[in-house]
Structure 1
Amino acid sequence: MLPTVTEVLRLPALRAAAPEVLTGDPDTAVVRWVHSSEVYEMGGLLAGGELLLTTGLGLHGRTAQQVTDYVEQLADAGCAGLALEVGRSFAVVPHELVQTARRRGMVLVTLREVVPFVRMVEDFHDLLLRRKLSWRRPAEPIWQELLGLVLSGQGLAAVLNASARLADCPVELVDVDGRVVERSRTPGLAGSAARTVTEVRGAHGPVGRLVLHGRSTAQRTGVAERAAVAVALELGRHPDLGSRPSLAQAVITDLVAGVLVSQGDLQARLSAAGWVAPAGSSVLVAAVEVDRRTPASEAVPAVREAAEAVLGRCLVGAAGSTVIVLARGWPRSAQPRQREAAEQLRTRLCAGPLGAAVRTIGAADPVSDLADVPEAVARAREVITLSRRIGSRQPVVTAQDVAVHRLLAGGLDGAQLASFVTGQLGPLVDHDAAHGTDLLRTLDAHLATGLSKTRTAESLGIRRQTLYARLERIEHLLGTPVEDPAQRTCLGLALAAWRMRTGLDPQAVPGRSRG
């Protein structure tokens, strides 16, 4: 099990830096890796689950909005926490950094003493190694020998040679696609039909299989189990020796990175991975977000099984904290079918081994041209990001659901957006803060019901007379009738922008005054 931020902060190098947690829950935030960087655009380079160490050099001289955007990008990438060393670039932690990290629920830590970041990374690697070894008995001869080879740095070939000697049969390591990565020097691989196969698992899921070419016996099974762990440790020390991703995963990785832009190239890669979109049909792209405690790569098999039960043959791969699904879809005009399929997928996933680890499913608009698939992949992930930013509680979100929020996010900078919200909703926000009323929530519900007073009163659980009084007060504060078409449009946009700025859903705020 991966450690939490609290456990990482107890490591000697981190403890020596005098850490102080300012925001977030360090007891539940899980750390996959510790990384240091001063790059401002670091959010786009993370895979999720990192504790990022920085002196703030990349933030020095940035505007308040740029500091806010920096944290937003880290949170969107699934960063477990940000540790800022104060005293170099910043004497105190910028207010925008604290405010945005708190709003996004991200752990923010200050480091008040200077300790080389490399020592912190080394301490974290040692922690992972100790955890990996903790379930093994040190006195066990087979494990002791294999572990000794790893710790002395003798390499993968030495581990396989020793495994072959202990198992009295040839041994080879193959990647997830069945390609040989390394084999022992023991001859006779071709002549052995019986095999003992054990999965090799890395930090992010399966990385290959260890194949013992000999009849399965208790001795060989024991060697295979221990050798698989020793090989995983060796691959963790030297990632370049590790397995290459599956063909499906490689396609997803390249789509997310935006390097597959040619329709011909994409079609060839999809065919090689065993997935071809039926002629004349659309491609549906969905992103399944999983809890940070569950590596997305480990969720791929369960997502693939559920997706293919609902959508037929799919191409599935991990990207950050999401699992991307490419499937046969429907025309954009068939929005209800798209939503229904996404809801069926989530129902199956929640009833399966992933259970509560499934958070949100985001679906892009179906595309009819393979050249548009990369953009659809980006859109499906963006749908989840935007739903988090507006405080949405919906388990299934489509591109149509957040279309206005996407338009606002791309068309206005932070200052313009704030000015627009204040101009439209400022009097209601101020009145609610001063008097404990629910005018903003009432306006949001009234617009959502199409200005139906009966349905608005029912959704808020109040009498119609109370609603009439609230609407009268709203119109008095705004200085214009809510029913005015132009005003209704502006108010709807302002509420969407308010959600983006605050990360709150007005309907999720508990009722206060009934006036």
Structure 2
Amino acid sequence: MALSLEEFLALAAVRDADPGVAVAPEAPGTAVRWVHSSEIYEIGPLLSAGDLLLTTGLGLAGVDAGARRHWVRELAGRGVAAACLELGRSLPQLPEEVSDEARRARLPLYVLRRVVPFIRICEEANGAILHADARRLRVVDAVVDEVHDALAAGGGTPALVSCVAAATGGPVALVTRSGQVVAAAGARDQRATDRLLRRPAASAVVRPWDVDWGAVLLGAGPGTDDALLDLLAARVAKLAAVAVARAGTGSPGDPAAALLTDLLADTVPGTRELLLRAGLGDFHPPPAARVVGLAASAPDPRHVLAGWARTAHGCGLELLADRVRGEALGLVAVPAAPDRSDPAGWLAGRLPEEGAVTTVGPAVPLAEAGHSLRQAHAALPTATLLGRGTVLTRELTLAQLLGRLDDRALGRLVDDALAPLVAWDAATGSDLVRTLAVHLRHGGNRTRTAAALHVQRQSLHQRLRRIATVLGRPVDDPASHDDLVVATTAALLLHARDRQGDRPRRR
């Protein structure tokens, strides 16, 4: 671990050397990882970040000012914590170019005005570092033992963070890679938790099965320092990886398919487990994102999954998708944006349609992801029957309800509202029932209806006038709207059943 520069200067051996500040550190708490002594000029490349160098300046005595500046820059470039020059036979005074370059390079620089054997300073300083390390290791071992006991007793991630928070007296959180809080403890209020998320005192990545799932975040507590928290975070992260993996399928096989299967069966007990397992599948929805369920039927679901992956990558979206029972299932996280007031509709407009029938569930909070997925999956047979490409489940609600009826019941609905129009189509070979259905589905918007039917607006106007004449009532009459929507939907279902030969038994 380390001492701070302030603690180093307070050591008895260092005080005996009568240290003076030539270039002050930007922070007295700058960490000293180890203390070395050397007189060779080329010492810089042999040092590491956080090292402190003791020297009499013998290696600088015979070189010019430019070489001395280079020596300082090399130490600063290595991230050395500080340099201490003993004034005496080699350097009676601190060279101006050394102090000037140290200020430029922001290298803390001290002079030692009395002779103290460097071995004494090194022994005391490095002994203190090792002693502090031993104390920290004992504390960390004790905390880890408590966490082990809690996990062995059946506790999960909440027990883990509670144990650590109780031991350190500071806040602790376990978060997914996207910043979703899975478990937290020790924070006085939400503002304290928010501060921990923004600026933890220590953190370590949680990697179950070599997946960057998330992180452990630790805040400062009474009697803790950065070195202890860094060490503790690294150890706790390994235990957190075990707890996270245990909350999943228990093996690294196929976390995405397993989670989608359980969401479909509605057997994921809560948001915490959903977050844990989603991270194992490399699905990290941002906290404010809406989640949309997807289901698709295709000869080869792999092509569908590849298309979804391209869309997600191109739009910067988080995607969890896999094959489940021969179908493609997925969840997409859609972050808020000005052009995404309707996240499900926005996503549906960007999904590839070729060679598959895809249903897009409602946009919901992450906690309700299973609901959106189940809605999409439940609508898939109806979408397949109707031959739709990519369709929102909300557009299939009526068709799903009517799909529970047999042909006779559907036929009655059609005959009661559309008998003259059905007869006209049969006699003339026209397709006015479908034209009316598309017109109603697009809210009576003639421009959108014409585009959906791939006809000119004038041709559509002629068709709508013919429909009104045959039915004996205007197609845009609000009083007839619901009746016509139900009847045209029933007609489309009957036509689809005829086309596929998929007729339920008459009741």
Give yes or no for TM over 0.5: no
State the structure with more CA Rg: 2
TM-score, reference length from structure 1: 0.40
Higher relative contact order (CA 8 A, sep 6+): 1
TM-score, reference length from structure 2: 0.41
